[in-house]
A and B are shown apart, each in its own frame.
Chain A
Amino acid sequence: MIRGLTRLAPFIFGLSALGAWQAAVWGLAVPSYVLPGPIDIVQAYLGDYTVLNPALLSTLTVTVTALLAATAIGVFLAVAMAASNLFRAAIQPWAVILQVTPVVAIAPLIIIWVNQPFIALVVCATIVAFFPILSNTAAGLAATPAALLDLFTLNGASRWEILFWLRLPSALPNFLTGLRISGTLALVGAVVAEFVAGSGGFASGLAYRIIEASYRLEIPRMFAALVLLGMSGIIIYALLGLLERALLRGRDI
């Protein structure tokens, strides 16, 4: 009973909030160009899905590509840093600098440098997304139990055997935690990059549609795009959570 209630809680809360929102909009007669009610937003989506759905698809394509790139780069750098202290010393500060630099600040540069808009967006989103994968995987690799390393050494294991049979599987839970954080960050990065790119002239993703709608004071449409973004974020997070559960099933951490 309580568990069922916990499951339903977010939906009950969301529906009541939507109801209150709609009631307030009706009761206070707020014009929809200031604050649209949920019904206006749904209507805006139904009227505009031929534009909004392709825009969503475009943003998601950037997000997923960036997440894959971030995974490849993050894991590669983490392994290289675990293998060589010199490499770690050389790379770590630069990775942090890249992480703390706001992507809004470098996106215009990247969009100027990279001719192909899709790749430019992916580069921006990757820069935002790779760090959690790098730092979590690196932490997991570094936390390999010393006794297991001794055991592998005693049995004459090579560096590669230690890497593939011990260190990488040991770091898997940490990597998956990082991946889950990076998944939502890739979406954020894609949207930010689209904002910058959108004002620069090429148009495709949801963020551009949001800017466009705000210029035209089509506030319900703006909200519809926001809702799509929010749902995408939740779905990405949930899917990566499922992946984590599937890969770690039956495992004694």
Chain B
Amino acid sequence: MLRLEGIIKRFDTGTLALDGISATIDTGAFVALLGPSGCGKSTLLRLLAGLEAPSHGTIHWDAGHKPGPGEIGFVFQDATLLPWADAAANIFLPLRLRGESRAQAAPKITAALAQVGLSAFATARPGALSGGMKMRVSIARALVNEPVLLLMDEPFAALDEFTRHKLQEDLHALWRRTGTTIVFVTHSIYEAAYLANRILVMSPRPGRIAADITTALPEGLGRRDGPEYSALVRQITATFRDVMPA
């Protein structure tokens, strides 16, 4: 889908966030950007979204793949819902900004709510939803446009372990079902290992790609507790031992 070539990002403050990132992201892949806090992985995600421009380097989109406005779904660390609008109205937002009427959008909103298992909560305001449910609404909002690329910035980091596991499983199943290209930023080795089929391990600041791991875990129940999973976690941990300062 796209190719990153020699991406360097230096902020106005002088901080060098990314130092020469080159990688390709294939259509349909589930890529985890894994690294410690401050390694520039969120910055890289913002560059992919077009929210910021690289200082040097280029993002080459494959012909016909460059997303226009509304064609990238973005899920933030917080659910970032409009607090005055109910779940359906929040999911409607990207469609509304595209100029669709509420009546036109209604079937898509219903489908998006069903996709994240919140059909019964269309009229609930964010204040009445739990943290996990808010994040589900946020994911539904990102999916309602049928984005060509879904970018997620540590979306489950603030959730409790049980909710996080459930949402990870649902997200992985959703990716298998829809085949949407996903780039998922996380600082959790376990999360990256479970979710992705490709893991880009990033070094501490300035961010570089320290390892590029393609994974092939079995699907289904054994995915989280099989021997392949443990081996993958060990492999990633060993990579970090090499790149983290003592």
Contacts and interface: CB of A to CB of B under 8 A. Distances in A.
B83 A252 contact: yes
Contacts of B72: 154
Given A250-B125, A251-B127, A252-B125, A156 B70 contact: yes
A151 B74 contact: yes
Tell me if B's interface is mostly helix, strand, loop or mixed.
Answer: loop
B12 to A, nearest CB: 16
Contacts of B50: 154
B83 A154 contact: no
A96 to B, nearest CB: 29
A157 B94 CA distance: 9
Interface in A153-193: 153-157, 161, 165-166, 169, 172
A2 interface: no
B49 interface: yes
A250 B94 CA distance: 23
A230 interface: no
B60 interface: no
B3 interface: no
A155 B93 contact: yes
B214 interface: no
Contacts of B78: 147
User: Among B78, B83, B93, B125, which residue has the most Cβ atoms of chain A within 10 A?
Assistant: B83
A251 B84 contact: yes
A154 B94 CA distance: 9
A155 B69 contact: yes
Contacts of B127: 250-252
B70 A151 contact: no
Interface in B51-105: 51, 68-70, 72, 74, 76-78, 80, 82-84, 93-94, 96-98
Contacts of A169: 82, 84
B97 A156 contact: yes
Contact of A148 (B77, B82, B94): B82
Interface in A117-165: 145, 147-148, 150-157, 161, 165
A171 to B, nearest CB: 11
Contacts of B96: 165
Interface of B: 46, 49-51, 68-70, 72, 74, 76-78, 80, 82-84, 93-94, 96-98, 125-128, 145
Given A153-B51, A251-B84, 10 more contacts: A151-B74, A151-B93, A154-B49, A155-B69, A155-B93, A155-B97, A156-B98, A161-B97, A165-B96, A172-B84
18 contacts: A147-B78, A150-B49, A150-B74, A151-B76, A152-B97, A154-B70, A154-B72, A154-B74, A155-B70, A155-B97, A156-B68, A156-B69, A156-B98, A165-B93, A165-B96, A172-B84, A251-B125, A252-B125
